[in-house]
Amino acid sequence: MSALHALGHEVVLSWSPDRLKEVMLPYGQDVETCRPARMTDLVFTDIVGLEQIRALHGSLYHYRCILRVLDVYGTDPLFNHPLFNPEIQSTSWGGKGLDPAQFFTHFPHSPDNSFLGFVVQKYNISGDEEEVQDYFRQIALLYGKRPSVLNGRNKLRFIDLVNQHFNETHATMYVNVRNKKGVEMYESIPDYVINHRNLGQEEFRRLLRKARVYVGLGFPVDGPAALEAIASGVVYLNPRFANPRPVADKKPTNRKLTSQNPYAETRIGEPHVYTIDIRNLTHVEQVLGSIKGMPRPPPLVTHEFTAVGFLERLHAYLENQNFCPNEVQTLANSGLTWRRNKKQWPPKSVLKVKLSEKGESCTMACSRHKLVCERSLFNDVNNEKLFNTLGSNCRGVKQILPLEELEIYRRRLVYGKPEPPCHAPSISTFTSQCLLQTDKLLFSCACAPPTDVQRICPCREYGDQIALCVGCY
């Protein structure tokens, strides 16, 4: 909200269904021009607000193309599709039929969605003597809001080892379990841990700056606190998952996590981040020894999470993203009408076509080439001519028709592993057929194809903004 205001836009807020009726009347006629009119040019909301809009208008039809949905974990195209959403009966997420880029995420984890992010402030130590002493103390701070994060095999042995290497171990865990006498129960928190309970943001940051290491315990995942620690010059211990885990229960994504914070693992790394198997105590011991033996790393914030980076990214989206069709457009509350031809963004000139390995997603295929998958460019690779330029000998070209695939998909969803038709454009190495996609909602970077299929992937380069192509903002 503050970034939109800083960029010069008029921001109107809604905080309840009643307020929504005041600021977002149903799509209707401008009384002076008799032309169709909306009261807003863009709507930023979340899933709760989306349902409020649907309830107010009966559908999202007239506002669909101007919606921007804040979505922490991301929404895969498969879950977004009204027909193929595998969670359609069990959650309000998914099945909205929006362009997947209309979902704005917390981290740049899914190239199918738009990475909005947040701002992390870098801490610069002042000359205050007490502050300097605090900054160079050797304490460990546990990452977790509740004692339940300590549950699990070998976690207490891991924390014991951390405590042996540092002068103090602190935590900020909220305890709301009481015994029959009304006394709070701390059984799962070791006695040597100094627990501060819930702290306000400033108090927490002050404690964080005193820490030498911020100790991840596996949950919460994809949280901002890891980046706040790195921005304070604190080393983040990032637990690696032996078996990649789903993001969260019933979230509309098949994305798997390799660690508690994959961004810190892949985009930052040592000496600010050590991604470790906390069950391998020998390796943990080596890492802790290395951290104690090296100078404290300087505070670091990657450009994507600075205020300037955030404003650049938001401005680029506001100026270039257009999910409305080529039709007469009307500026909200003005009656000003014009025919707007959509420009392609990012432009086709940034396209680099790559062929995936069999069974590999385009997200992974582009990443192997130090590129990122650009979903908006699938239209440019979804044609028979491109198959020929790649040297593929297609025995035939088959169009993937979602309605024909739907019954097969639903049957497999109940009785086995479904194979949604989201991998086209692609090549079946088993049948030598080239497959074209007919439903744009099913274009997907994240979709993993069957093991005999190679995907045609639209990739692009990126600089210090993975969400934006070089020279595109």
DSSP secondary structure string for all residues of 394-405: -SEEEEE-HHHH
pLDDT at 92 exceeding the cut of 80: no
Which tens digits make up the pLDDT trace of 394-453? 788 888 877 776 666 666 665 555 567 889 999 988 888 899 999 999 999 999 998 999
Average pLDDT over residues 372-390: 91
Mean pLDDT across 231-251: 91
Whether residue 123 is predicted with pLDDT greater than 90 in this model: the reply is: no
Query: H helices within 234-321, ranges in order?
Result: 262-263, 281-293, 307-320
pLDDT of residue 203: 93
Dump pLDDT digits (tens) for 162-176: 999 998 999 999 876
**pLDDT reading at 193 higher than 90:** yes
Residue 185 has pLDDT above 60, yes or no: no
Rounded CA separation 303/283 (Å): 31
Band (pLDDT 50/70/90 cuts) for residue 221 is very high
Among 272, 143, 283, 163, residue whose Cα is nearest residue 218: 143
pLDDT tier, 14 (very low <50, low <70, confident <90, very high otherwise): very high
What is the DSSP code string of 163-209?
HHHSSEEEE------B-TTSPBP-TTS-TTEEE--S--HHHHHHHHH
- SS3 sequence of 322-369: CCCCCCEEECCCCCCEEECCCCCCCCHHHCEEEECCCCCCHHHHHHHC
SS3 label, residue 58 = coil
Mean pLDDT over residues 18-27, rounded? 79
Q: Model's pTM, two decimal places?
A: 0.89
CB 236 within 8 A of CB 272: yes
| 187 — pLDDT class (breaks 50, 70, 90) | low
Q: Which two tokens stand for residue 227?
A: 């980046």
Set out the domains of the chain in order of their start, with CATH numbers: 1-119+315-320 (no CATH), 129-300 (3.40.50.2000), 345-460 (no CATH)
If you average pLDDT over every residue of the chain, what do you get? 86
Residue 340 reports pLDDT greater than 90: no
pLDDT at res. 248? 77
The pLDDT of residue 27 is: 59
Q: Which comes out higher in pLDDT, residue 379 or 188?
A: 379
